[in-house]
Structure 1
């Protein structure tokens, strides 16, 4: 990912003086200047999200509020900005952390349940959007040999998960915590899916990348079907990245992790 920093014209457009410093985490493309976080790309999607969040009342969570330029635009020279929110990543080795992340996600999803589906979601062609459509049967996918066996085991489990709405489908590393304050939901990745799908992604990540035990499923009350579909989503995303030539992922290691998570589901 590029580490190009926002030009001075962007900082000034949002009413901030330099210098900007790189922000760790995420896709490695965000910068901080003043009390704002700057991120490149996502023009139309960010513009829609910024307008939508203006109609959302946080209850049980905080949100990284989108900021407009001095001219009233949501994007400046391809960069967007949100307000810096206080908080840090939690201890992912603690069972309570996953309960708290899911609770924040559920509060967020209740607050955005009234939002309509934006047509621009249909125009997304990034790796994640293509992978998401594949695991919901909206496009074909051929899993790489390393993933094929695990994918076959998982594909029998997905089932309808409820009514779709706008969801944040990448909550795992995008909920920050600060003492005495509600959790902060940041870097919203919007999809039009049932909230349980977003919860399944959190549990799938916990099992694959944070050594969570199989007992997590019972503790957080998330269905096997939702986690199975989420595991397919994560595998399909790697599929898309590798197919594009943009990633040299350790496919054997990822396949091993997905296989262990699948076994934890009893599949």
Structure 2
């Protein structure tokens, strides 16, 4: 799906667009902007002005080093709106490449979440009903869903093997604290680029009001799904965060084959068995 002519007109970009890989899928390059579909205007109105200010502040901060964190700047349309027919825009970052280095991803998340904790003191959508399966998955992971049988867990929409693994993780979950809630990027892996100077550039922020350690756990789980057990995350708060990351991903992604997740999370489950 490509943006309609009036979307391009409001963002003041030419009509010759080309698809871009990565991100949430469906993004296109139009002039010097990246246009991305499926944006929620209510969320963008709350988030994008803050992100734009933070992005500029990071780029112009005194003493900034070339490799310091950057954020792709959200750009409003000519009428001042941040979303037009579901399309949002951000500044294109030429010469970037996808970041596949897990330590860099984790370090980027740590700096980003420290900045977000200072910039955003509350997140009203956290108190609103879930709007899609990612919201439902996040609520299930933290025990905030009223009843599991009213969620995709155990329903016909989720393969039974995946539902079984979700319930194993739910039984293994405890009340161990994993940190205070704040605005976090819940889909960091795959949404960090490296610019020509070596700076990480964060794109497509998926906002949740949860502990930063949980967001890091989701990032780690996504990054090492095909590399085996997550050895460093088997005890204490890190284990608890990873359990909830596993629940979140399984409920949100609904994989036909959950075995890669079981292999990655097997050590966490074995620790909960007598």
What interval of TM-score do these two structures reach, taking the shorter chain for normalisation?
A: 0.7 to 0.9
Q: Is the Cα contact below 8 Å between 2:69 and 2:200 reproduced in 1?
A: yes
Q: Secondary structure at the match of 1:193?
A: strand
Residue 217 of structure 1, CA deviation:
4.2
Q: Verify the 8 A CA contact 2:229 2:265 in the aligned structure 1.
A: no
State whether residues 24 and 204 of structure 2, in contact with CA within 8 Å, keep that contact through their aligned partners in structure 1: no
| CA distance in structure 1 between the aligned counterparts of 2:88 and 2:7, rounded to whole angstroms | 9
**Residue of 89, 93, 96 corresponding to 1:85:** 93
Matched, 1:235 2:239: no
Q: TM-score, normalised by structure 1?
A: 0.83
TM-score by length of 2: 0.81
Contact 2:230 2:265 in 1 (8 A): no
CA distance in 2, matches of 1:225, 1:104: 21
Counterpart contact for 1:206–1:212, Cα < 8 Å: no
Equivalence for 2:134: 128
8 Å CA contact 1:203, 1:217 repeated in 2: no
TM superposition shift of 1:123:
4.5
* Contact 1:200/1:222, CA 8 A, preserved across alignment: no
Partner of 2:84: 76
1:44-86 alpha-carbon deviations (Å, 9 max, x no partner): 1112111121342337311111101222222223321111124
2: distance between equivalents of 1:199 and 1:75? 28
Q: Distance in 1 between matches of 2:99 and 2:52?
A: 27
CA-atom RMSD, angstroms?
2.3
Name which of 28, 35, 39 aligns with 1:38: 35
- Structure 2: any 5+ residue segments left out of the alignment? 59-63, 155-159
Match of 2:47 in 1: 49
Q: Distance in 1 between matches of 2:131 and 2:214?
A: 20
Aligned residues: 244
Alignment partner of 2:265 out of 259, 262, 267: 262
